[in-house]
């Protein structure tokens, strides 16, 4: 496996993360700020893009800022399962973490947050 590369554009406040530079991929919008790029046939991550990175990475007084995975609801059940599997495994799980907010015992809202990263511009 190739090493992960990080490219931060300060002007647009965008962090691009590549696990396989140059490979074609399908983009999956996970949140308004996080896009996962995957190779569906090989069931693996190609990269990620984090828009408004400084906001997404900003910690709150009680912990990391988390976002609902609203994009999952727009996917087919098969694609949703694939994306969740990719998010749970390396190298993606080294960048983000998953959890669920449970407003009631019968309702779960999947959420995601970034692990603290040290990015040099």
Note the pLDDT tens digit of each residue in 41-88: 999 999 999 999 999 999 999 999 999 999 999 999 999 999 999 999
Residue showing tokens 């609203």: 70
Flag whether the pTM goes above 0.75. Answer: yes
Average pLDDT, the chain: 94
Which of 65-69's residues contact partners 24+ apart within 8 Å by CB, and which partners?
A: 65/113, 66/99, 66/111, 66/112, 66/113, 67/31, 67/32, 67/33, 67/34, 67/111, 67/112, 67/113, 68/31, 68/101, 68/109, 68/110, 68/111, 69/30, 69/31, 69/98, 69/109, 69/110, 69/111, 69/112
């Amino acid at each position: 496996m190739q090493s992960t590369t990080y490219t931060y554009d300060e002007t647009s406040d965008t962090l691009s993360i590549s696990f396989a530079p140059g490979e074609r991929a399908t983009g999956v919008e996970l949140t308004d700020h996080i896009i996962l790029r995957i190779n569906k046939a090989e069931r693996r991550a190609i990269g990620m893009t984090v828009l408004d990175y400084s906001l997404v990475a900003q910690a709150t007084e009680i912990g990391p800022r988390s976002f609902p995975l609203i994009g999952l609801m727009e996917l087919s059940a098969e694609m949703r399962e694939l994306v969740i599997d990719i998010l749970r495994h390396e190298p993606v799980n080294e960048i983000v973490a998953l959890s669920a907010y449970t407003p009631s015992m019968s309702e779960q809202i999947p959420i995601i947050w970034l692990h603290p990263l040290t990015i040099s511009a």
